[in-house]
Structure 1
């Protein structure tokens, strides 16, 4: 019998509690601490495996993922602008969210694959970092064009020195430098407690998701349809790229998950600085109110099933 993963139940608990307007809240300091642990754990795991592989072998994957980030943002923008009829700034902002990546969704996928003994390429955290950046740059250009008024120094600071990127890259470098043996003393905190940390993170994400439901009610069905349809479409791009790069079934499914996820941390912060006229309720309502729960509850198994089918079809 298939049992629902307890980390999903934590997300549902937060979602239901938020919708019922419960007083349940994760203290801000605790949420900050949990987020830091989660980001560092993902980086450390990737860094350990990164040390085992020559950098030159990873370069094609890195460049391909950057190209995918550009492509997905450019794919989403005309749909939002001309079908959804959003203002240019709002369409660009939402498109940037969907061209980027969700660390939370990646963490859930890691737990999902791990519980089912599904292996995937261990340099995925590196690809996760690479996918954060191009969508932000494209989103800003789509919204504002290239002009002297664009505060590129502030954008670069937010993109490259934002908390998420610093922690992920820092974890990668520490894991790469220390190796598995060097990290043995901190393994109980960052590795053994990973799912417990993730459970608390998802509890808070459920509460945050509930706060975005009002925006969805105000702005109609389009964001709901887009918030489900875009990830499904993006996952096919990720699967195609995974096949082209020769990734394993698990790696292809993970790349599809990265492609299908939508940012709710790095991109909102960058858009707030560079495109302040964009309405954050729209982008967060779609990415956090629709896409994140869709991916966590049903999307990841769908992407894995599609990856299995694609490898079977190509191999057969």
Structure 2
């Protein structure tokens, strides 16, 4: 691994604001981002990354690489929940195993956004279709996770319809904003779209910094309640994403030659959802303990990926 890349990532102002958020909670500071502002920032980030991706996609010709990328993404979002579920069900029970499996098979939009910033710092380009890939990977993992619970839990009397689960996964606010912005960016007139570039580009990293400041505070507050579940889930939250990211960083080389696309594939495989999955699982499987899978995704996997994981996946892409 290139130590310069690691140092550059660890001293990135965006990441340092995440650390500041952790420190603020540990010292019991009254620093707080208002809830309404937090929701706006979240929507802004999804809007900006979706719209920019749609614009990039509008300039791309649909070809075999994009088709293979979509199929590869769907495969990942199905296989990861399956193997993680069977690793977990004897440790945390079927409902929790299904929720965790769905989270780790799905993607983290904020990790993806941070990775885009990482690529920009390295001067590496990527295809606009990767934003569509991120959106595509959200729902299959959630659906697979719920199906695994239904199939394995003979005591569950109330079965949620697959149709309602699919509908909720696509109409979830975060997914709808991301997909909607992508479609608008795809069909928008290029000349007209340039008029909002200062909003989607120039202030992007500033809003990302504020968002990660809050994520740092949330991480530090929720990780305390996670300690009672032991070291198994802690190591799971690091080693499983690391394995997924490293394997996909290599395998993606058979799909695309683009270093940027391969790196983003690795990030998508390594990330864990803490937005779309909790919202969906609250409806589909209320028995699953959000006090387990949210701290795992947000307090362990997310900080690992944006500090140590990204340079590792990037190094593998460069090596192979």
Length-normalised TM-score, structure 1? 0.93
The alignment covers a number of residue pairs equal to: 308
Q: Does 1:65 align with 2:73?
A: yes
Comparing 222-231 and 20-29, the one that deviates more: 20-29
Match of 1:170 in 2: 180
Match of 2:287 in 1: 277
Give 3-state SS (helix, strand or coil) of 1:210's partner: helix
Runs (4 or more) in structure 1 with deviation over 4 Å come to none
Match of 1:137 in 2: 143
Displacement, 1:153? 4.1
Q: Does 1:37 align with 2:47?
A: no
Displacement, 1:120? 2.0
Q: CA distance change for structure 1 residues 175 and 212 in 2, over 3 Å: closer, same or farther?
A: same
Match of 1:235 in 2: 245
Match of 2:319 in 1: 309
Displacement, 1:55? 3.4
Q: Is the 8 A contact 1:18 1:207 kept in 2?
A: yes
Give the alignment of 1:156-167 within 5 angstroms: 156-167=166-177
Q: Does 1:91 align with 2:100?
A: no
Q: CA RMSD in A?
A: 1.7
CA distance in 2, matches of 1:22, 1:222: 31
Give the alignment of 1:224-303 within 5 angstroms: 224-303=234-313
Q: Does 1:106 align with 2:107?
A: no
Displacement, 1:200? 0.9
Q: Is the 8 A contact 2:250 2:317 kept in 1?
A: no
Give 3-state SS (helix, strand or coil) of 2:188's partner: helix
Q: Is the 8 A contact 1:73 1:138 kept in 2?
A: yes
Displacement, 1:16? 1.3
Q: Does 1:127 align with 2:133?
A: yes
Match of 1:25 in 2: 32
Match of 1:115 in 2: 121
Structure 1, residues 176-196: CA drift from partner, whole Å, max 9, x if none?
112542211111111111101
Displacement, 1:154? 3.3
Q: Is the 8 A contact 1:47 1:179 kept in 2?
A: no
Length-normalised TM-score, structure 2? 0.92
Structure 2: where are the runs of 5+ without partners? none
Displacement, 1:145? 2.7
Q: Which of 37, 55, 66 is the aligned partner of 1:48?
A: 55
Structure 1: where are the runs of 5+ without partners? 311-316
Structure 1, residues 260-293: CA drift from partner, whole Å, max 9, x if none?
0000000111111111101111101211110001
Displacement, 1:148? 7.2
CA distance in 2, matches of 1:18, 1:239: 34
Give 3-state SS (helix, strand or coil) of 2:92's partner: coil
Displacement, 1:91? 0.8
